[in-house]
A and B are shown apart, each in its own frame.
Chain A
Amino acid sequence: MLSLRIAFRFLRSNPAQTALITCGMAVAVSIQVFVGLLIGSLQSSLVDSTVGNSPQVTISSNTKVPSIFAWDSIIDTARRSNLISAASPVAAGSAITVSNEKNIPLLLKGVHIEEADRIYRLKEAVYQGNLYVGSRDVMIGRELAAEIKAGVGDKLTVVLPDGTETIFSISGLYDLGSAAVNKTWVIANLRTVQQLLGLPGRITSIEMSVPDVFNADSVAAQLKNELNDSNLRIENWKDQNQELLGALRSQGISSTIIQVVIIFSVIIAISSVLAITVLQKSRQIGILKAMGIRDLSASLIFIYEGLLLGLAGSLLGIALGLGLLYAFDAFTGTPGTGNTIKIKIDYGFVLISWGIALAASTLAGFFAARRSLKLNPIDVIREG
């Protein structure tokens, strides 16, 4: 404890230098925490907006007949395996609607609304009207509604490739966050679409979501194994979005590089300040050695200095980093600014950053401590 007491007094005896290095470290740690959390949030927002509201695993037919018959048992098997969080049977086919003498291509998508809601969060996406209920109701997206100038309660005529015309009533308008989807998807009752497409009892695909989106590939592989049916094609979002995954990986690597550089700069900055402290306090160390302090205790003084500086600098830095993040969120998160980053504080990351900063500053103290070992009390006394 004597070493700790001496370390504390040494730091207190030079308040300007102590404050400067603490602030320097705080700034470095705050940037590290800010960048780390921001990029983490950015990645999670990106994944969430790209695949969070869409199926992560899709099962479709692998044969010439593009439909699946025994889909109930496939969904049961998938649910029993506990690998998925939601499964939605889909019967979908292309169609058009005519507006202003213009053919507008559509995807008529029949779903079980409760199941589809678990994947697409339809309840949140509907901004006008309600989720459809009847067999002749549909929901259309924001862009389509704007193009055909239709709203809730209006009629929508859907023309299938065989020329069949069906008139639906628009029960709701949705916004799924993608213009392409909003413009083409017409969401209807599963049974209705099955009948219209001539697929009674059959569906075209099963859409599934999984608890951890990054596990979608292994879930797909396990499902393939469990279902053991070569007539089924099982796809996952990771295989279909290699570019996005590559971008996320690159972003993660650049974030790590920035953080590593910051940690190194912390080590170098504190090491150089503590090396100067060893020189500044060489007389004191010399006289403590002359009084019989052991080498380890003398070295511990500088390790404790590093630890104390690290403790103050990292805590201040974390507070500053979180403050920056809240400020960022407050400024960019206001409605209408187009901010899509949902800030998420990963406390595990903050804790790890704190631990790394403490370890780095203690390591810097260790370098200074090694220098102090070489101090000989006689040299100090001879120099006066």
Chain B
Amino acid sequence: MAAIVELKNVDKVYRGAVDTQALFNINLAFEQGSFNSIVGESGSGKSSLLYIIGTLDRPTGGELWLEGYSTSSLSSDGMAALRNRTTGFVFQFHYLLPEFSAMENVLMPYLIGHRNADDKVKKRADELFDLMGIARVKNNMANRMSGGQQQRTAIARALMNNPRVFLADEPTGNLDSENTAVIYRIFREVNRQFGTTFIIVTHDRRIAEQTDRIIEIKDGRIVMDLLK
């Protein structure tokens, strides 16, 4: 199967009073529809890797290929458009916009890319709320929901544009075990239904063991790449 994400010789150095190299010569490829996790200790470089894959950050060396496009020549707006169309992000914190309702938050990525949402698009948002099991709170303001509901709204938002790559950075870090289990069940269901590629960053090995491929990073280098 073709690679949807490919990193070639990727380095990342954070410039400052003292330069810090977070990633060393990373070479990785993720296949379309695969379900992957990246594990590592805090500060190992796993989040840096995820931000580069999600085009939130640029590598200082090497190249990222996303959906067949090399990102190195893209402008900031070009990266933004590619990110909006191709990827969906979920973080440890939900980052919903408190000024908008849950429904408006979910529609936001579509509105960024397309200006107006027609009935078909709103129907898709409704389906995502159903899939997340939070249809009854869809008209609540974003800050008028429980932590679990907020995180599920954030996942629905990340899925709104039907992304080919779903990136999650410690997505259940703030949730209890019950909500954690529900969310991983949803991830699996989306992966199966829509063929979405999942790349989940976690420091929890028990979660990683539920994925099909575990990549371990230590001190900015890949030390293990295990395909089940």
Q: Are B81 and A294 in contact (CB under 8 A)?
A: yes
Q: Are B99 and A284 in contact (CB under 8 A)?
A: yes
Asked if A344 CB lies within 8 Å of chain B CBs, one says: no
Closest to A9 in B: B99
**Contacts A2-B112, A377-B56, A378-B51: A294 and B80 contacting too (C-beta < 8 A)?**
yes
Residue from the list A13, A292, A378, A381 in contact with B83, Cβ < 8 A: A292
- Taking CB atoms, residues of chain A closer than 8 Å to B80 are 289, 292-295
- Taking CB atoms, residues of chain A closer than 8 Å to B83 are 290-292
Closest to A11 in B: B99
Residue from the list B89, B99, B115 in contact with A1, Cβ < 8 A: B115
- Taking CB atoms, residues of chain A closer than 8 Å to B95 are 283, 286-287, 290, 380-381
Q: Are B85 and A384 in contact (CB under 8 A)?
A: no
Asked if A123 CB lies within 8 Å of chain B CBs, one says: no
B12 CB, min distance to chain A CBs, angstroms: 11
- Taking CB atoms, residues of chain A closer than 8 Å to B84 are 291-293
* Bound Cα distance from A384 to B170, whole angstroms: 12
* Bound Cα distance from A220 to B115, whole angstroms: 64
A95 CB, min distance to chain B CBs, angstroms: 84
* Bound Cα distance from A297 to B84, whole angstroms: 14
B102 CB, min distance to chain A CBs, angstroms: 14
**CB-contacts of A42-94 with B (<8 A):** none
Asked if B13 CB lies within 8 Å of chain A CBs, one says: no
**CB-contacts of B44-71 with A (<8 A):** 51, 54, 56-57
Q: Are A291 and B112 in contact (CB under 8 A)?
A: yes
Residue among B84, B92, B97, B109 having the largest count of chain A Cβ atoms under 10 Å = B97
* Bound Cα distance from A296 to B93, whole angstroms: 26
Q: Are B81 and A12 in contact (CB under 8 A)?
A: no
Residue from the list B82, B92, B100 in contact with A384, Cβ < 8 A: B92
Residue among A1, A297, A378, A381 having the largest count of chain B Cβ atoms under 10 Å = A381
Interface code A3-42, partner B: CB below 8 Å = 1, 0 otherwise? 0001001101100000000000000000000000000000
Residue from the list B91, B98, B112 in contact with A288, Cβ < 8 A: B112
* Bound Cα distance from A297 to B83, whole angstroms: 15
B48 CB, min distance to chain A CBs, angstroms: 9
Q: Are B57 and A290 in contact (CB under 8 A)?
A: no
B54 CB, min distance to chain A CBs, angstroms: 8
Q: Are B115 and A291 in contact (CB under 8 A)?
A: no
- Taking CB atoms, residues of chain B closer than 8 Å to A291 are 83-84, 89, 108-109, 112, 157
- Taking CB atoms, residues of chain B closer than 8 Å to A293 are 80, 84, 112
Closest to B82 in A: A292
Residue from the list A286, A292, A297, A377 in contact with B85, Cβ < 8 A: A292
Residue from the list A13, A292, A384 in contact with B98, Cβ < 8 A: A13
Closest to A2 in B: B111
**Contacts A2-B111, A2-B115, A292-B109: A287 and B97 contacting too (C-beta < 8 A)?**
yes
Q: Are B112 and A284 in contact (CB under 8 A)?
A: no
- Taking CB atoms, residues of chain A closer than 8 Å to B19 are none
Asked if B178 CB lies within 8 Å of chain A CBs, one says: no
Interface code A363-384, partner B: CB below 8 Å = 1, 0 otherwise? 0000000000000011011001
* Bound Cα distance from A318 to B84, whole angstroms: 43
**CB-contacts of B93-130 with A (<8 A):** 93, 95, 97-100, 108-109, 111-113, 115
* Bound Cα distance from A12 to B57, whole angstroms: 32
Asked if B77 CB lies within 8 Å of chain A CBs, one says: yes
A171 CB, min distance to chain B CBs, angstroms: 79
- Taking CB atoms, residues of chain A closer than 8 Å to B111 are 2
- Taking CB atoms, residues of chain B closer than 8 Å to A378 are 51, 56-57
* Bound Cα distance from A12 to B99, whole angstroms: 8
**CB-contacts of B22-64 with A (<8 A):** 51, 54, 56-57
Asked if B76 CB lies within 8 Å of chain A CBs, one says: yes
- Taking CB atoms, residues of chain A closer than 8 Å to B51 are 378, 381
B44 CB, min distance to chain A CBs, angstroms: 15
**CB-contacts of A291-308 with B (<8 A):** 291-297
Closest to B158 in A: A291
Residue among A9, A289, A294 having the largest count of chain B Cβ atoms under 10 Å = A294
* Bound Cα distance from A289 to B57, whole angstroms: 12
- Taking CB atoms, residues of chain B closer than 8 Å to A9 are 97, 99-100
Q: Are A381 and B91 in contact (CB under 8 A)?
A: yes
* Bound Cα distance from A305 to B92, whole angstroms: 30
- Taking CB atoms, residues of chain B closer than 8 Å to A6 are 97, 99
B103 CB, min distance to chain A CBs, angstroms: 14
* Bound Cα distance from A163 to B2, whole angstroms: 124
Q: Are B112 and A384 in contact (CB under 8 A)?
A: no
Please, could you name 14 A-B residue pairs with CB atoms under 8 Å apart, sorted by A?
Answer: A1-B115, A9-B97, A9-B99, A10-B99, A12-B99, A287-B97, A290-B83, A291-B83, A291-B109, A292-B82, A292-B84, A293-B112, A381-B56, A384-B93
B-side residues, CB < 8 A to A, are: 51, 54, 56-57, 76-77, 80-85, 89, 91-93, 95, 97-100, 108-109, 111-113, 115, 157, 169
A-side residues, CB < 8 A to B, are: 1-2, 6, 9-10, 12-13, 283-284, 286-297, 377-378, 380-381, 384
Closest 4 CB pairs of A and B: A292-B84, A9-B99, A13-B99, A287-B95
